[in-house]
Structure 1
Amino acid sequence: MRISAAISSSVHFPAIDLALQTPEIGRLSKSFGSAITWCAKMNLVLGTLFPSKWIAITEFVTKVAGCRRGAWREDEGRSVASEFDTVGLARASLIPEALIQQGILSGAVTLVWKDGDIRDVTVLGERNIERRDPMTRDTLFRVASMSKPITSVAAMMLVEDGLLALDSPIARWLPELADLRVLRNGDGPLDDTVPAQRDLMVEDLLTHRAGFIYGFSASGPIVGAYEDALGNILETLATPDEWLTALGSLPLAFQPGEQFRYSYATDVLGCLVGRVAGMSFRDFLRERLLDPMGMVDTDFYVPAEKLGRLATIYRHDKTIGELAPVPIKAPAAAPALCGGGGGMFSTADDYLRFARMLLNDGELAGQRLLQPETVALMRGNRLSDEQRRVDFLGRPGFWSGQGFGLGLSMITDVQAHAAHGAGSVGAFGWPGAFGTWWQADPQENAILIYLVQNSEPVVPPAQEDGGAAVSPVRAAMQEWQRAIYASFR
């Protein structure tokens, strides 16, 4: 292979191209002509061919961009990243940093764990722009739907306890959801219904096949009915009993088990866990999952002493080209209804412990939450081919390379999944609406965590070709995944 050909100007390196758009690196590029561009591209190539020799430029560019990075061996507190890892990880950190410099993101915390060690933690930008509070490793994030896997594990613990089964009718504990009606046409009139063909079961909740919806995952009168009856679950003052009663007054959008539809099903699951356990859902999580896992910063509210660590959610206002804070208040005390589908706050290190437990077949540091066979059930696809042919939230082909199990998605075809990210067959996880994402990969023995606080439409606008537009924030997260996986090679 001729190196001169490998670094020709026609070669496209998205990470470097993004980095060169940042003000600091852009000014350097102008000052030194094309030298920094050429050196960065050279380092990308030579860093792969000769990892022990070509580190300087990538590290230099990373320092210019202002990244705060490090790698730790957890038991000794010392660096473990190889020189090759350092090149690749530094390369990856340029990707979210470019968006921060462009004013599209406020900040980010990323973490890479592999083969028993934390290989990298990168801290970028600010958690609150107005106060100029820098992002820190222990910053608290609204992890949104990353709450769902935690709630799903709690439910599976009750299955192992013998208190639930996947085919248990949930109306036994949630009578508010008995004798439900189903819309004859999913987007049709609310009064045009038929009886449900069977009872809702626990598995329906775990797999989003219960017939519930989110406002953004459906169309027709049912959307307004949900909004009027349930409001915003992140800010509701309703009790679980009141919320379930309101939900039970609404028709299902489809027959139980018929299709996958992203929904409030996991919030219902959290209510179910509380009823079955005979305590509040939050108390069950604290006692059986969060405390045993050492997840000290994960909860449904942010206490006063931790409020300064909370990252603000921002929305990029294209009309003014700036970030605007999104007015979503964090509860100052545990809410009456702790939403198991999206109400949790957490940190990179806390969520790492949860992900490691699942990657390690249900056990971490001598604390076993689930048996290996239960974790295997969660990590196995349960959707039919027909259910996977339906677009997910306006993203065509989303399920072509993925499946969905009991609260977790997993990669089933690497090539088909490539348009949506990176990973090996069997890699599993589930993201959050505010830009949070994680994935555990058994083949690589690796965990990737990517935390930002960005508000954008959950359903992307359609493009002229019928595909879904990919926002710069989502595109950067996907490219970060690819860069991290490239560093493993």
Structure 2
Amino acid sequence: MTTKRWSVGTTMALALLTTAVAAQQPAPQPRPPAPRNADAASAAVLLPATQALYDGYVRAHKMPGIVGAFGLGDLPTVFVAAGDIALDPGAARAGPDSLWRIYSMTKPITGMAAMLLIEDGKLSLDDPLSRYFPAFGKMRVLTSPDTSLDTRPATRPITIRELMTHTSGIGYQINAKGPLLKEYERLGLIPATVNAQVEAQARPTRPASLAAFAERVAQAPLVAEPGTKWHYSMGLDVLAAVVEKASGMSFERFVQTRLLDPLKMTSTFWQVPRRDVGRFATNYAFVGENLSPADPAARSPWLEAPSFPYGGAGLVSSARDYDRFLHMLQNYGTLDGVRVMKDATARFGMSNLLPAGVTFESDGQVRGFGAGGVVYIADDPNGASKGSYGWAGAAGTLALVDPAKRFRSTIMVNYFPAEKWPLAKETFAALRNDAARLHGGRW
């Protein structure tokens, strides 16, 4: 089974933001991997090929540390861990409860939050966005997105479906160019935390609330006619504002009460508590072949409240927590006897929700797109079943749930660019080897 790198331009854009800073700092010398904890020792017995792969990554100085969470059915999750959460002397070992910036792996959580409101009858996929934010009622579309701000009137309204599936025509600071990029920067449309230097530049112009952010997005021109093209976007950040408006409570509180609390995801935060800085990983940037700290945990702006909760890239989480989210989806809405969403809601959120005639291509394969994540619309030759759902994060994190096989995987690392190593391909090759050893057959 294999997964793909779906974060599109995110990793490279964020790498450009941090490389200049990282290059000014001397590259620390990686140290040998720390002794395994109990979870990793167990993994060495159950998943030896995967454990050996991760130990090799750390030994070869490819990353300070890594944690994988792999689950099959309702058997106990197997955590494969190697290395430490930072290159600093005395840094904690990487483990199931280490904290990592998951960036765009926030999007499936936002998408499923919106699905809960659909379940509640407070939201519909085909509602016009202007029902919640009237400023989106008269949008304009760029005629040459990469070179000018010339526009024409949009002929179609933006819908909730299109926000959820990156087909709204809204763009993203990370993949914008030329005049449009400057316009986003002028409007403060930078919905992400990177490091202290970038935050000092972005915060003064960034809106201070989700509602204000949505209103600012409505001032920017669209890059495409709504419902006609897949274009990675700020749509999930705007969707978070819709969740807030439709639910009548803050987006943070809605996610906390409807998803995080019922799932006992106690290590998932918009702001890392100071008490937990000791398990918060440092984020690194590769400068050539050297790892240099782009966002040291002890001085990270993630320790402060964000301008607003970023629905597209705002969460820090642990391998254990994100595995619980995927486990609930694998079970179509339940975990540990607690029903978080209806069976039909989970299935719907993991189905292809793209507007008619629109496709999403990943690594040369045609995919669908659901509630904030990719959807496999056919069995993948490398192993992922039709109906598999997931997404990736800008700093290397990966998540996939395969409900047909009742399998799920979460991989946590923190470095830019995420594409530096073929992490997904090599991990799932190792898992196949482990599965063949355990079961005598192909996974």
Q: TM-score, normalised by structure 2?
A: 0.81
Task: Report the secondary structure of 1:341's partner residue.
Answer: coil
Are residues 1:144 and 2:103 paired? yes
1: CA distance between counterparts of 2:393 and 2:116? Answer: 23
2 CA distance for matches of 1:375 and 1:167? 18
Asked whether the 8 Å contact 2:34–2:84 carries over to 1, the reply is no
**Contact 1:67/1:123 (<8 A) preserved:** no
Distance 1:315 1:267, change over 3 A: same
Residue 126 of structure 1 pairs with residue 111 of structure 2? no
Deviates more, 1:128-137 or 1:260-269: 128-137
Among candidates 148, 155, 160, match of residue 114 of structure 2: 155
Counterpart of 2:163, as a letter, is L
Residue 241 (structure 2) pairs with residue 271 (structure 1): yes
Instruction: Tell whether the 8 Å contact from 2:173 to 2:189 is kept in structure 1 after alignment.
Output: no
**Higher Rg of the two aligned structures:** 1
Equivalent residue number for residue 211 of structure 1? 169
Instruction: Tell me whether 1:234 sits opposite 2:205 in the alignment.
Output: no
Is 1:406 the equivalent of 2:371?
yes
Tell me whether 99-108 or 328-337 shows the greater mean CA deviation: 328-337
Task: Report 1:377-388 matches (<5 A).
Answer: 377-383=348-354, 387-388=358-359
Match of 1:178 in 2: 137
8 Å CA contact retained: 1:316, 1:323:
yes
The residue type equivalent to 2:431 in the other structure is: I
Report the Cα distance in structure 2 between the residues aligned to 1:376 and 1:333, rounded to whole angstroms.
36
Contact 2:162 2:355 in 1 (8 A): no
- 1:362 CA drift (Å): 1.1
Deviation string, structure 1 residues 116-172 (Cα, Å, up to 9, x no partner): 123521221111212431223210111111111111111111111111111111212
Select the residue among 445, 452, 463 that pairs with 2:413. Answer: 452
Deviation at 1:291, TM superposition (A): 0.8
The CA deviation at 1:218 is 4.1
3-state SS of paired residue (1:217):
coil
**Match for residue 101 of structure 1 among 59, 78, 81:** 59
Structure 1 CA distance, aligned partners of 2:352 and 2:192? Answer: 29
Letter in 1 for 2:351: G
Give the structure 1 partner of residue 152 of structure 2: 194
Moved more, 216-225 or 243-252: 216-225
Q: Using the aligned pairs only, state the percent identity.
A: 31
Secondary structure in 2 matching 1:68? coil
- Pick from 349, 366, 370 the counterpart of residue 337 of structure 2: 366
1 CA distance for matches of 2:237 and 2:181?
17
Corresponding position of 1:41: none
The CA deviation at 1:297 is 1.1
CA distance 1:241–1:373, shift in 2 (3 Å): closer
Q: Which residue of 2 aligns with 1:438?
A: 399
What SS does the corresponding residue of 2:76 show, helix, strand or coil? strand
Residue 284 of structure 1: which of 254, 272, 275 is its match? 254
Query: For 2:243 and 2:164, how far apart are their aligned partners in 1?
Result: 12
Per-residue CA deviations over 1:27-86 (Å, capped at 9, x if unaligned) read xxxxxxxxxxxxxxxxxxxxxxxxxxxxxxxxxxxxx976736569xxxxx97x8xxx94
Equivalent residue for 1:337, pick from 301, 308, 311: 308
CA separation of 1:383 and 1:272: change in aligned 2, threshold 3 A = closer
1:272 alignment partner, SS class = helix
What is the CA distance between 1:391 and its match in structure 2? 5.3
Equivalent position SS for 1:130:
coil
Corresponding residue for 1:481? 428
Deviations 1:396-443 (A, max 9, x none): 51x43x321222212234456x4xxx5223222111111111111123
Inter-CA distance 69–165: structure 2 relative to 1 (3 Å threshold): same
Q: Look up the SS of the partner of 1:326 in the other structure.
A: strand
Distance 1:327 1:247 in 2: 28
Q: Where does the alignment leave 5 or more consecutive residues of structure 2 unmatched? A: 1-31, 194-202, 436-441
Name the stretch that deviates more: 155-164 or 181-190. Answer: 181-190
Between the aligned partners of 2:48 and 2:103, the Cα distance in structure 1 is: 28
> Match for residue 439 of structure 2?
none
Pick 1 or 2: higher relative contact order, CA cutoff 8 A, min separation 6: 2
Q: CA deviation at 1:335?
A: 2.8
Structure-2 change in CA distance of 1:487 and 1:322 (3 Å): same
- For 1:449 and 1:485, locate their aligned partners in 2 and report how far apart those are by CA, in whole Å: 16
Measure the CA separation in 2 of the matches of 1:266 and 1:67. Answer: 40
Q: Which amino acid aligns with 1:355?
A: L
Structure 1 window deviating more from structure 2 (235-244 vs 90-99): it is 235-244
What is the match of residue 389 of structure 2?
428
Give the structure 2 partner of residue 34 of structure 1.
Answer: none
Q: Over residues 277-317 of structure 1, what are the superposed CA-to-partner deviations in whole Å (9 max), with x where a residue is unaligned?
A: 11210011111211111111112010111111110111121
The C-alpha deviation readout for 1:1-33, integer Å capped at 9, x for no partner, is xxxxxxxxxxxxxxxxxxxxxxxxxxxxxxxxx
Counterpart secondary structure, 1:293: coil
Match of 1:52? none
The whole-number CA distance in structure 2 between the counterparts of 1:369 and 1:176 is: 33
Which amino acid counterpart does residue 279 of structure 2 have in structure 1? Answer: R
The aligned residue for residue 164 of structure 1 is 123
Which amino acid in 1 is paired with 2:396? G
Structure 1 gap segments, 5+ residues each:
1-63, 73-77, 458-470
Amino acid aligned to 2:140: R
How far residue 259 of structure 1 moved from its aligned partner, in angstroms, is 0.6
Q: 1:67 to 1:316 in 2, by over 3 A?
A: farther
Q: Which amino acid aligns with 2:290?
A: E
